Amino acid sequence: MKRKTFIKSLLFLGAIPSLLSAKTTHIKNSSSIRLLRHATLILEINGKKLLIDPMLSEKEAMDPIRNCGNDIRIPMVDLPIPRSEINAMISEMDAIVITHLHRDHWDNSAKDLIPKDKLIFCSSNDEKAIRNQGFENVQTIEDNLTWRGINIYRTGGQHGTGDIGKSMGKVSGFVFKHQKDSIYLAGDTIWCEEVENALSNHNPNVTILNAGGAKFLTGDPITMTSNDIIKVYEKLPETKIIAVHMDTINHCFLTRKILFEELKKNSLEAKVKIPNDGESIII
């Protein structure tokens, strides 16, 4: 082999690891969201995995939500992960994020399965209760903090209106930012001033909304309806909306199918992603 040809060969071979490394880095640093079920999500950002609002009970393991017109046990569907793999999934998580303590976001199964030394992010309103459950590594977010290169901001919301809204207690949302990614997890809230402010202040490129139009026999919905979701779109059309929190709990009457049809009537079916259980979305 001629010297010139040999040098070119070395240069080409030397470039291969660099190309592979660049590709690997891109994949590693890609943010993604995976819906497990209801509001239970896996958010991967800056190479870190966050388990959000874990409800890990088996299908029909819990009593139904009362005063909503039916007695269907919950969860109405099982997780898309085999029960034998749940512990392995939890061990892969770098932290747990809890928006509030209602059992469809933080159930007894999660309390039993998640190690007591696992890092948990929550609002200061929920810290004492979580520590009383035996968890030792609880980090509160009242305004914002930076963790492993990720900026996390707490946002407010309204879990319903009137007396029902007050009885549902304080809830939180969170915004996760890393480089160009800004992911707004609204939590259990209806369209309200707090949501509008979060969209204005953080300008997220992804917004995760807890839909389902959950309600009781009396009072207004306590989570987002199709009209609420449309208001989010109208406020910030450029954000990618992901609607979850459906087809799992017996007082969530807005199903995926109904939401899609409502969006279609308004020519917005392509603007809102409605993932199935187990589905992942690359940001």
In a domain, 3, yes or no: no
CA distance 273 to 33: 12
On the question of pLDDT at 7 being above 60, the answer is no
CATH label of the domain that carries residue 79: 3.60.15.10
**Average of per-residue pLDDT values in the chain:** 90
pLDDT tens digits, one per residue of 125-147 = 999 999 999 999 999 999 999 99
Task: Establish if 60 belongs to a structural domain.
Answer: yes
Task: Mark out the alpha helices in the chain (DSSP H runs).
Answer: 3-29, 86-92, 108-113, 124-132, 162-167, 193-202, 226-235, 256-265
> Could you report the per-residue pLDDT of 52-90, keeping only the tens digit for each?
999 999 999 999 999 999 999 999 999 999 999 999 999
pLDDT of residue 18: 35
Confidence of residue 242 (pLDDT cuts 50, 70, 90): very high
**pLDDT tens sequence across 256-275:** 999 999 999 999 999 999 99
Q: Which of 15-24, 184-193, 217-226 has the lowest mean pLDDT?
A: 15-24
**Number of domains within the chain:** 1
Instruction: Give the position of tokens 């017109």.
Output: 69
6 domain residue, yes or no: no
Residue with tokens 């958010």: 43
Burial of 216 (0-12, 13-18, 19+ CB in 10 A): middle
Share of the chain above pLDDT 70, in %: 87
Give this prediction's pTM: 0.89
Q: Which domain holds residue 100?
A: 31-282
CA-only gyration radius of the chain, Å: 21
Q: What is the pLDDT of residue 161?
A: 74
Q: How many CB atoms lie within 10 A of CB 275?
A: 18
Query: What is the pLDDT, as a whole number, of residue 28?
Result: 52
Could you tell me which residues are beta bridge partners of residue 120? 96, 138
Asked whether residue 64 is assigned to any structural domain, the reply reads yes
Which ranges of 114-210 would DSSP assign to H, the alpha helix? 124-132, 162-167, 193-202
Spatial separation of the C-alpha atoms in residues 87 and 216, rounded to whole Å: 34
What residues pair up with 41 in beta bridges, in sequence order? Answer: 35, 52
Helix, strand or coil, per DSSP, at residue 116: coil
pLDDT for res 6: 39
**Residue 23 belongs to some domain of the structure:** no
Q: Residue 209 domain-assigned?
A: yes
Q: Would you state the pLDDT for residue 169?
A: 67
* Per-position b or e across 56-73, b if 16+ CB within 10 A of its CB: bbeeeebebbeebeeeee
Domain-embedded: residue 19: no
Residue of higher predicted confidence among 276 and 164? 276
pLDDT at residue 25 in the model: 36
Look-up: residue for tokens 């749940």? 86
Peptide bond into 75 cis (omega under 30): yes
Is there a domain that residue 15 lies in?
A: no
Residue 164 pLDDT: 67
pLDDT greater than 50 at residue 13: no
Question: Above 60 in pLDDT, residue 21?
Answer: no
pLDDT given at position 26: 38
Between 108 and 159, the higher pLDDT residue: 108
